[in-house]
A and B are shown apart, each in its own frame.
Chain A
Amino acid sequence: MITERHEELAALHALGLLEGAERSAFESELAGNAELRALVDSLAESSAALALAAPPVQPPAGLKQRILAAVPAEAPGARIVGFPLARLAPWALAAALAVAATWLATQNLALRHENAALASERQLAEVAYRMTQNQLSERSLLAENMINDLGGKLRRSEDLSRLKITALASLAGNTKEAQVIAVWDPGQQTGLLTMEKLPAIADTQDYQIWIVDPAYKDPVNGGVFHVAADGKVTLAFKPDQPVAQAAAFAISLEKKGGVPKAEGPIVLLGK
């Protein structure tokens, strides 16, 4: 059922006036409400029509050629970046860490009270961690440090309760199958993302991580990443600003290299 409040938020969203946590909360609701999605789409269409109310101005003659000259010769979405075979092995083994993180997501609450039950599972996590650490030697120093830190956390069960574990839900039609878990360590200001069935993207694009912190007007940039053809990614991330409260995590689709403020569609979101 669409309420007056829904209409107000939809109108503000269509005009780009929702920001920060309010926008994240509304987009989360949108993901599961087809009627609201339809309202937002129709209001966005009406809002976009306002562009035609601008006084007409003829673009300069050379602009068309400037744009055509800037377009690369190859088809924009033709090539999907594949990882060299040598790098597939570390990724495959990194999936073991994804299993551990998934397990943590479901067992975290019980672990806080049942340290005894942790021992066997912790061993599994440690084995996965050691395997991953061995195979990820080619990864960046930053990523390695993050994984080392998280590995340390796995060895200290008392620290597990500090970790925030979030499953991200799909907001885009082509990411419905994606399974994404974010593990966030507020003390270390680092996080780990494990993803499966994430759609491959063109080499002109990157996925970009965002952390929603109510202390900031806009979500905090967590860096960019690409995805292998098998849709599996495990990576560490670190925001470019201190995060006091990680209220939500989001992943958007952006141009190569990322953007300072999200421009592309939010494809995954979780609180």
Chain B
Amino acid sequence: MLLASPCPLTWIEVAPTRCGTGPFVRMSTVADNPPTADERNREQAALLAAMARGDKAALARLYDLLAKPLYSLAFRVLNDAGEAQDVVQDVFLQIWHKAATYDTGRGSVFAWAATLTRNRAIDRVRMRTRRAELLAESAPDLQPAAVGGEADSAASLWVREKAGAVRTALAQLAPEQQKAIELAFFSGLTQQEIAARLNEPLGTVKARIRRGLLKLREILPARL
């Protein structure tokens, strides 16, 4: 395997060659300071560029970086391991095919991948025949993060660190804003369905979503 092998680099100039033998530009190692958000996104963007040239090892590396948070998101929305796997597979294949179209000016690679995953998962929720019943199951309150049982790789550390930042940011929202945003993001409910679920006027729900998301933008870094 190319880039997916245990390469000591944490971010690299991706080239279609084997780790350690090609023209990589060594920027930092695990022993150095962890990469910044910009550095991490540059690494992921470089992986997309390599994928656009047909480098499957770059896809493997991107999988290592993003598969867990994307699978967790799909599982959270669908509450079904088989469907979550299908969604993650579809998303990585879509990323492979559309790698050349990624525009660094429009957002991070993670945001792009997470949006694709959420949209596909929600499409599946909406297609289920027992819609009302399953929607009720799909929007439980957020559970505390599971601890332990995972390798301490740089990727998992990054995910854990950022997940903690997102949960802390959510906790700073007013409870009604947090609830409205969670329903909007994870459940696949429409505006009207969210208002009905919360037993609030539609205008109130829209205002909560607006204020809550603007607040999250203030608290969270511009790019994860």
A50 interface residue (CB < 8 Å to B): yes
Tell me whether B223 and A45 are in contact (CB under 8 A): yes
Tell me whether B149 and A58 are in contact (CB under 8 A): yes
B135 to chain A, nearest CB (A): 15
B136 interface residue (CB < 8 Å to A): no
Tell me whether B69 and A51 are in contact (CB under 8 A): yes
Residues of chain B within 8 A (CB-CB) of A66 are: 85, 89
Q: Are A54 and B69 also in contact (CB < 8 A) when A49-B166, A66-B89 are?
A: yes
Tell me whether B163 and A52 are in contact (CB under 8 A): yes
Residues of chain A within 8 A (CB-CB) of B110 are: 48, 51
Binds B, one of A69-77, A127-135, A190-198, A241-249: A69-77
Bitwise, B146-174 to A at CB < 8 A (1) or not (0) is: 10011000000001101101110110000
Q: Are A68 and B97 also in contact (CB < 8 A) when A51-B69, A55-B146, A63-B71 are?
A: no
B98 to chain A, nearest CB (A): 8
B72 interface residue (CB < 8 Å to A): yes
Bitwise, A243-264 to B at CB < 8 A (1) or not (0) is: 0000000000101000001011
Binds A, one of B5-13, B22-30, B183-191: B183-191
A30 to chain B, nearest CB (A): 12
Residues of chain A within 8 A (CB-CB) of B89 are: 63, 66-67, 70
B56 interface residue (CB < 8 Å to A): yes
Residues of chain B within 8 A (CB-CB) of A264 are: 98
A11 interface residue (CB < 8 Å to B): yes
Tell me whether B214 and A7 are in contact (CB under 8 A): yes
A19 to B126, CA, bound (A): 14
A47 interface residue (CB < 8 Å to B): yes
A47 to B115, CA, bound (A): 8
Bitwise, B104-118 to A at CB < 8 A (1) or not (0) is: 001110111011011
A68 to B64, CA, bound (A): 12
Tell me whether A17 and B209 are in contact (CB under 8 A): yes
A119 to B98, CA, bound (A): 48
A17 to B190, CA, bound (A): 6
B152 to chain A, nearest CB (A): 14
Tell me whether A68 and B185 are in contact (CB under 8 A): no
B224 to chain A, nearest CB (A): 5
B46 interface residue (CB < 8 Å to A): no
Residues of chain B within 8 A (CB-CB) of A7 are: 210, 214
Tell me whether A204 and B97 are in contact (CB under 8 A): yes
What is the total number of residues of chain A having a CB less than 8 Å from a CB of chain B? 54
A51 to B142, CA, bound (A): 11
A43 to B88, CA, bound (A): 23
A141 to B52, CA, bound (A): 37
Tell me whether A60 and B85 are in contact (CB under 8 A): yes
Q: Are A60 and B186 also in contact (CB < 8 A) when A16-B118, A46-B213 are?
A: no
A66 to B87, CA, bound (A): 12
Residues of chain B within 8 A (CB-CB) of A263 are: 119-120, 123
Tell me whether A8 and B210 are in contact (CB under 8 A): yes
Query: Which B209-224 residues have C-beta < 8 A from chain A?
Result: 209-210, 213-214, 216-217, 220, 222-224
Bitwise, A205-226 to B at CB < 8 A (1) or not (0) is: 1000000000000000000000
Q: Are A67 and B93 also in contact (CB < 8 A) when A42-B222, A48-B111, A57-B75 are?
A: yes
Residues of chain B within 8 A (CB-CB) of A41 are: 106-107
Residues of chain A within 8 A (CB-CB) of B210 are: 4, 7-8, 11-12
Residues of chain A within 8 A (CB-CB) of B132 are: none
Question: Assuming A51-B114, A51-B118, A54-B75, what are 6 further A-B pairs, CB within 8 angstroms?
Answer: A43-B213, A43-B217, A47-B115, A49-B169, A51-B70, A51-B110
Give me the interface of B with A, judged by CB distance under 8 Å: 51-54, 56, 59-60, 63-64, 67-73, 75-76, 81, 84-85, 88-89, 92-94, 96-101, 103, 106-108, 110-112, 114-115, 117-120, 122-123, 142-146, 149-150, 159-160, 162-163, 165-167, 169-170, 181-182, 184-186, 190-191, 194, 206-207, 209-210, 213-214, 216-217, 220, 222-224
Give me the interface of A with B, judged by CB distance under 8 Å: 4, 7-8, 11-12, 14-17, 19, 41-60, 63-64, 66-68, 70-71, 73-78, 173-174, 202, 204-205, 253, 255, 261, 263-265
